[in-house]
Amino acid sequence: MATDTFTRYLISYPSDGLTITGIMQIPPGVGPFPVIVLNHGFIRQSEYWSGYETWEAAGYLNARGYLTVSSDYRRLGRQRLGH
């Protein structure tokens, strides 16, 4: 997904035998960009989706030139679906 202030990517990486997923948002322009890792508080699994509770902060930071990464907690997001 692309907007005027960021391009969003679904990311994945291995960790202790699991595939961890999340969202990376890159501001427009040519990097390198400073990076901020965003984490969320408690969320019920039934209500969770990748980027939940971090997308507003990510958009704010992207508009100011920061690349943001929001990893899903283990067994949340796409990895709980076996992806």
- Per-residue pLDDT in tens (0 to 9) along the chain, 83 residues: 667 778 989 899 898 888 888 889 999 999 999 999 998 665 656 655 555 567 778 889 999 999 999 888 766 655 443 33
Q: Please tell me the pTM assigned to this model.
A: 0.74
Q: How many C-beta neighbours within 10 Å does residue 60 have?
A: 12
Is residue 43 assigned to a domain? yes
Strand stretches in the chain, DSSP E? 7-15, 18-26, 35-37, 67-71
| Number of domains observed in the structure of the chain | 1
Is residue 30 assigned to a domain? yes
Is residue 60 assigned to a domain? yes
**Contacting residues for 51 by C-beta, under 8 A, at least 6 apart:** 8, 22, 23, 58, 70
Fill in the amino acid letter for 23.
Answer: I
Is residue 74 assigned to a domain? yes
Is residue 68 assigned to a domain? yes
Fill in the amino acid letter for 5.
Answer: T
Give the pLDDT score at 35. Answer: 97
Domain ranges, residue 42: 7-81
Give the pLDDT score at 69. Answer: 93
